[in-house]
Every structure is written in C-alpha cells, then in structure tokens.
Structure 1
Amino acid sequence: MSWKIDRGLFKYDFTDYHAVLCVTVDADVKDIRKRYLKIARRLHPDSNASASAAEKQLATELLSKWVNPAYEKLSADRTRTEYMVVLSQMGKRLVQESSSVELNTDLARQLASVPNVDHVYKSAIAKIAETQYDSLEKVLQIVAYVSELNLVYLMRTAGKSFAASQQATQSKINTSVPTPNKATNTPPPAPPAPPKEDSVAIQYLRRAQELLGKNQLAQARVELQDAIKLEPNNSRCHSLIGVVYLKQNQSTMAKVHFDRALQLDPNDETALKGKRVLEQALGQKPGSSKVASSSNGGKQPDKSGNGGLFGGLFGGKKK
C-alpha cells in the first residue's frame, strides 16, 4: 500500500492531521480526543479478531503511522499551537497562489462557492467521518478527499473568493472548444469529461436507502436534505427525496423533486416511476404537469396500504 498523498494540503509538503482524524480544522481538543478514541478502537487488534493477517497489519500501520501521530500533534497544547500557526499561514499562502490550486472533486468545487461555507464544510466532514475507517484500503484516499475540503475551507476563511477564478476557468473551457466543421456543418466532438470521484452524497444516499427500507421516513428525509445542500444538482438525491415525500403523502413536494430530478437526468428511473405513481394517485393522465389540490392541504390518502402512495415500489417494510 502506498502511503503517499499528493492532494489537498499534502500536495504542499504539509501533513494534514485534521484530515487523518477527519475533524474540522477548528475542532477543539475535546472533539479531537473523542474522534481519536473512536478510530483507535476501530483499528485495535481486539476489534479485528476475525480479520485476515494482512488486514490486521494494515490496521496496526494506520494506527502507528497516521492516527497516533495526528492525535499527538493536535492534543498537546504546544504542538497544537505551533501547528495551527503554520496552518493559518498555509491558508494565506494558498490565497496568494490560488491560480495554481486545482480542485479534483465535485464537493470541493461546490465548497469553493457556496455562501454558507461553515455549515456545508462541517456537515460534510461529520458525514465522511462516519465511514472513514470502514474500508482500510480506502482510508488514504478518503484522507486526501478530506484534505482537499480543508484546503478550500482555509482559503475561504482567509478571504479567498472563487467566483472570479471559476468564471475565468469556465471562459477558458468555452474558448478551447473546437468550432464546427464549416464544410460539413458537423458539430465538434465534445471535450472529454474530467474523471469524477464518488461524491460525499453517495454516503447520504446509502443511509437514506437503508432508512427507507426500514420505513424510517423522517430520518431518511434529513439525510437527503443534507445531501441536496451539498450537491444540489444530484438527480438521485432529488428522486429519492421525492420518494420520501410521496410515501409521506406530501404530493406537492414529491412532484417538485421528481421534476427537478428529471431536469437533471431525464432518464432517472426512480423519478419517472414516482411521477407515474403520483399522477395515477391524483387521477391525472400520465405526463400531465398539473397537480390536483385536495381538502387536506395537498396531502393524498394512502391508497397502497403499505407506507404511503409509493407503497412497495421502493421496498419499504410494512408497519
């Protein structure tokens, strides 16, 4: 396993201990200790009794090479103070060198421009922390992912505005697209799409699907609302929260999110199926955009007998 990380703050010859522990850069000592103890229990040999020899070895190395040094650096007053001074200087340096900063993930790019940066950043870190050490082989990949979020957050709190740079980048992309062939009037080939990593929304979606399977609708809706705050253009998030609203008999909200999902992805099967069920329940012809109102404030009666209008479509359990 390679121990080298070349993304986020690590790219600038800086060891991002906050990313190793997956805590925010302004976390206090109490939260850092709590997080450390949770990771240490996960990596302790007693917690890996059924693991293979290779997995136990990897857990031990992660604990000794990464987790323990991170905790030692961030828990002691002197070393923590020195580290935070360097971190602050790093943020200011990155602002000055912002033209050379590359953001590789969708979430980092979104964090660069969202107005409520504190909420989005802290929410994302908290969610990632829940599964950071579930797969030991992917830990360093996740650490790199978190470090890129830390980098953006440091730059934002140091006063960096990404709006102008993003517009400049978009302008470069637009002017670099080849023109159509005038002789044949054929359109130019589309520029290759950049590689896309799994977004943090996938973690929300997995939890929401599990909660939906248990018919825990309120909790599933919270997960998906957080996901949409982080990735407002994720069609899957919108289609699933449409499912939740439909199962809660909130037809108007269900339609809003199904429509949004289909705007983003016209082939989203969940949204297509959800709209058909919704239209049938409201007595509309398929494809109609009109939503009928009812005397109970837009809520429709449960016609499925199994957890709302959507019934067993998503696989919810009967109560």
Structure 2
Amino acid sequence: MSFQIDRGLFQFDFADHHAVLGVPIDADTQTIRKRYLKIARRLHPDSCASESEEDRQRASQFLSKLVNPAWEQLSQEKERVEYDLLLKLKGQQASRQSSGELSTLGKELSTASNPEHFYHTSLKGLADRQYEHLDQVLEITGQISELNMVYLMRKEGQSTVGASEPKKAIYTGSNLPDSSQSSVRPATRPAPQPQVRRESIADQYYRRAEGYASKNNFAQAVLELRDALQIEPRNSRCHALLGMVYLKQNQTTMAKIHFNKALEIEPENAMANQGKQRLEQVQKASGRASDAAATSARAASQKPATKPNQSGNQSGGGLFGLFGGKKK
C-alpha cells in the first residue's frame, strides 16, 4: 500500500509529523501524547473489527508507517530538538520558494489579520475529521501540512504565495523521508531496504515502563502501562509487568488483579506466574505475622491479675502500705 502526500511541507521532501498527528507545530508533548493515543485507539485492530478487511489493513498501515514514526520523532527530546530545527529551515525554504496553488484555507491564513487564531482554529477542525474516514486521511493530512507551511511562512514574514508549483514528491509508506534526511535527493532511487518489524504500540510503552521500573520510578511506569492497556486491553505482558510494579509498592490487591488478568489471557505467562507466587509468599508471611500478633494479644489479655492479701488490700497497698505496714 502506497501513500501519496504532495501538499504543504511534504512537497519540500519533508515528513510533516505534526500534520500526521493533527497537532499544531507549537503543540507541547502532553498535547501530542493525548492526540497520539486517540489516533492509535482509532486505528487499532480491535477498533476496526466492524470494518472491512481492506479498511483494517489500511488502518494498520497508517498506524505503523505514519502515526507511530511521527510519535517516535516528536516524543523523544533529542529527536524533537533536531526536528524543530529542520522544521524551521523548511519554513524558511517555503518562504523563499514558490509554494504552489493553495487551498481556500491556506489562502485565508496567508492574509488573516490574526494568523495565530485562524491557524489553530482551522487545524482543530481538520484534525477532528482526520481519521474519521480512512479514505480521507491523506487528503486531510495534506491540508493540515499546508496550514503548517503557511503558518511558518507568516512567521517568516511571507504572506503571499507564488504562481508556479514546485516539484512534488511521492511517498510510499516505507520510504517516507526521515526528518534527518537532506532535502536534496539523488536522481537515482536507492535500492529498497529490507522491512524491519516495528515494535507494536504496547511494546513501546512496555519498554519504557521497564526502564522506569528499573529506576524505581514506579509512578511513571504505572502511567506508561495504563496507557498501553488503553490501546491493547488484553496485552498479558503489560498486565504482568503492571502487577510486578504494584507488588513492589506493596499494593497487593492491585497486583493480584493484574496477575490474574495476565494469566487469564496467557496462562503460561512466566512473569505473571512468578509474580503470583511471590504475592502468595508475601500474603502468607503477612498472615503469620498477624497470627503471632493476635496470639500475643490474647496471652496478654488472659494473664491473671495480682492476688489481694487476706485483708482485702493489695500487698503493700492501701493505707498500711502507705505508712509501712502494722506496728509491731
């Protein structure tokens, strides 16, 4: 399956990851993350179960070859810094070169008196529809990229567009340009590279959660695993690791829930079985400690009180006790 995007920044041989995720170019990481999760849930096979086989395959391709690479680029701090720099350069390039024929929205943005408001409002309207119908994904993504391009041109002080159209690039899924690539390509097409299986979305969250857990950052590990389970609720590996994280925090009830869920999905899951055994040991040790405490408390309550002397007073007590006993 091939993808052709020839509008906006894509026409300058640039992978516009912001356009793919439908977020403004000035969006923060939290906003990008929320948007990515929303798209990933929409394109996940479980969400496409009622659609045709063709649409399910198309959704899978969009997820693995467009959405996931965009998220990987924008979620990593080092890659994001480099990408933002290249994005600025592409905006300068668009300002110097002709940007071709613009859509109505692009033309309106190029002359808007308040480009910030117009840009963000128009982009949100497009993003709300971007992945609603799979046959419109590429068209709307191109429109969003055009808004990104014109917005960058406005920031560079360029509010008008030229008449000629630059050479358009065609992207075919696996050969979408990486942000680190130069904008100039050789005339000959490179030999196709062997396809490398990408991690699934849940695998990416799982890997990050493992890293956080190894550093005892359990709160962040829980957050990563919960996000993974929102996308793949029946991922036994994520349930098992989440159970382990809860067990390390002595949250035995939550640990038990996720161990049981992992074993329900995958009875042979080694981590879940190991975790459940450790959980049982912890609960047994806790039970023995509770029994010992209860036995000690019962023994203390059953200890006989000091017997009074024949006069009815405690030995050494009463008035005689105070004054040293009877006179001889």
Normalising by structure 1, what TM-score?
0.50
Larger Rg, first or second structure (1 or 2): 2
Q: Which fold has the larger relative contact order, with Cα–Cα distance below 8 Å and residues 6 or more apart in sequence?
A: 2
Normalising by structure 2, what TM-score?
0.48
